[in-house]
Amino acid sequence: MIERKGSQVTKTNAKQKDDKANAAVEMLTKGERRVMGLLGTGLLVASLTVASPIALPSESWTTDAFGARTRSDYSRESVVRTPEFLALLAGGLLLILVSLNGRRISRVKIRDMEFDSCQGAAGKELAKHLRPQLSTDSEVEEAPKEVLPAGSAIAVESIGEGDDVGIYSLDDVPARVISDAIANWPDDAGVAPANVAEFVVAIRRFGRGNHPWFVEFKNRRPVKVSYGGRGKDESTVTAV
């Protein structure tokens, strides 16, 4: 748990524990990886077997004037079972790749896509609500590198006049921004978040200008985290 006035080391360790816990949930166990690898290898071997041409009988018949049928030709044609081969090959390769990567497909893909969709919607609502503040943001200074986005935005919201706001998930927000927001949580924004698990979404104008971050946690007023200005190097956190 992160205390409101806790040290930077305490907050960093807490975030690392949360990251490790999330990673552990998303990773396959050694046993699961071994089983998937064996199944994948078995499917690859099966695909090679299916790829071998098989001989199917082929014959033709003739009917004489009296209606009697006689076989005029008999041969064995070589046939390659392409659909079966491709299906087994694709399945085998997929299982082997998953076993090597070690991540759960359902959690990494489906869950993250749904979560990003929810965060994107929350971020768009937040950007619309804060449009006046975002539109008057200044680009005079350049932001410190450690507070620039750590990853790509999951969605974009226009605030007019060619300006866009990036919507970011927790992984794409600099750790310093989250730590500063929690450590300097303003009283008029509600109870300070206990940890990063209560994070909802963050937004920031695009560009390297010294744009503030707007961060939202569950059941609390959003906060504005800004840096610099009036000779200050530390962060300023205010409720919005």
Do 147 and 116 fall into the same domain?
Answer: yes
User: What pLDDT sits at residue 225?
Assistant: 94
- CA dist 149 and 23 (Å) reads 21
3-state secondary structure of 112: helix
Do 81 and 136 fall into the same domain?
Answer: no
Q: Which of the listed residues 75, 101, 127 is the one where a domain comes to its end?
A: 101
Is residue 1 assigned to a domain? no
Do 163 and 226 fall into the same domain?
Answer: yes
User: What pLDDT sits at residue 202?
Assistant: 94
Angle between helices 30-51 and 82-101 (to 10 degrees): 160
Element spanning 91, H or E: helix 82-101
Do 174 and 199 fall into the same domain?
Answer: yes
Per residue of the chain (240 residues), give pLDDT as tens: 333 344 343 334 444 444 443 443 356 677 777 888 888 888 888 877 776 665 555 566 677 777 777 665 555 555 556 777 788 888 888 888 877 776 655 444 444 444 566 878 888 888 888 888 877 665 557 778 888 998 888 888 887 776 789 999 998 999 999 999 999 999 999 999 988 999 999 999 888 788 899 999 999 999 999 987 655 668 899 999
Place of tokens 């990494």: 108
With 0.75 as the threshold, say if the pTM is over it.
no
The CA angle 152-155-157, to the nearest 5 degrees, is: 120
Do 129 and 203 fall into the same domain?
Answer: yes
Element spanning 25, H or E: helix 8-26
Do 145 and 220 fall into the same domain?
Answer: yes
